């Protein structure tokens, strides 16, 4: 038996993303999601999560999209006051770990204030796996008692991982109809694997915010039509 956590990232990014994730849960194999706490459609995602309490929901820590929840974080933002893009990070001054801890703590606390119970931590663009930022991740994991997504088979030292392996190849050209039929060939029996996914319906918000768009719709179609073959089971 191979247990799967099929986790949909970017909950809160846009209405189409939010509805795509919920439909992939209700009518497909998604059984977990990660919420961005700083976006314009976060409140919409919170309402949907509250309406579906059996869906696992974690926190998608953000450093490269939207605007911070906290003020006075100059090393985290660009001239417009929004988070720097992934390509901008590290080009000028380094990220202040004090500022980062303040911001990411605020993101977790906003989630907790909704009454929802977080199941895990991960991050937008896998930013939490950057070695220089991992001390903050360790503090958050310990403070809030939350496991953290691995980088493949590599876990952050001193932190409980969400699964034995996290798999990121159901993305872009890797999004294929037979993906889950072939998945067991890559994994040993008895393992728990997390599969990252990004299902969505397309909308203007998503098209304006992300370069990864039409493939999300293909993901949605596959995730809502796939029947898992033995030995794969949802955790």
Place of tokens 């950057």: 130
Residue-wise pLDDT for 34-72, tens only, equals 999 999 999 999 999 999 999 999 999 999 999 999 999
Q: Are 69 and 107 in contact (CB under 8 A)?
A: yes
The predicted pLDDT at position 163 comes to 98
The predicted pLDDT at position 201 comes to 98
The predicted pLDDT at position 90 comes to 65
Q: Are 33 and 5 in contact (CB under 8 A)?
A: no
- Is the four-CA dihedral 21, 23, 26, 27 of positive or negative sign? negative
> Beta strands 2-11 and 165-167: pairing type?
unpaired
CA distance 82 to 64: 9
The predicted pLDDT at position 85 comes to 87
Cis peptide before 231 (omega within 30 of 0): yes
CA distance 45 to 228: 27
CATH number, span 2-234: 3.20.20.370
Q: Shortest CA distance to 128 belongs to which of 163, 169, 86?
A: 86
CA distance 196 to 9: 7
The predicted pLDDT at position 91 comes to 65
Which residues in the chain show pLDDT less than 50? none
């Amino acid at each position: 038996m191979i247990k799967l956590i099929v986790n949909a990232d970017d909950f809160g990014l846009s209405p189409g993303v939010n509805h795509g994730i919920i439909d992939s849960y209700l009518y497909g194999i998604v059984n977990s999601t990660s919420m961005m706490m700083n976006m314009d459609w976060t409140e919409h995602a919170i309402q949907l999560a509250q309406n579906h309490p059996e869906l696992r929901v974690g926190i998608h820590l953000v450093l490269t999209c939207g605007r911070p929840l906290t003020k006075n974080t100059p090393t985290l933002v660009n001239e417009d006051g929004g988070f720097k893009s992934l390509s901008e990070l590290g080009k000028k001054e380094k990220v202040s770990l004090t500022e980062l801890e303040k911001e990411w703590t605020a993101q977790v606390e906003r989630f907790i204030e909704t009454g929802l119970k977080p199941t895990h931590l991960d991050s937008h663009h896998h930013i939490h796996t950057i070695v220089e930022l991992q001390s903050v991740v360790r503090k958050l994991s310990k403070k809030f008692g939350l496991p953290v997504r691995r980088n493949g088979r590599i876990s952050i030292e001193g932190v409980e991982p969400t699964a034995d392996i996290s798999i990121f190849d159901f993305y872009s050209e890797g999004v294929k109809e037979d993906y889950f039929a072939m998945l067991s060939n890559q994994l040993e029996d008895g393992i728990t694997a997390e599969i990252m996914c990004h299902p969505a319906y397309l909308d203007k918000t998503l098209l304006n915010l992300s370069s990864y768009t039409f493939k999300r719709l293909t993901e949605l179609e596959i995730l809502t039509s796939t029947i898992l073959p033995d030995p794969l089971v949802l955790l």
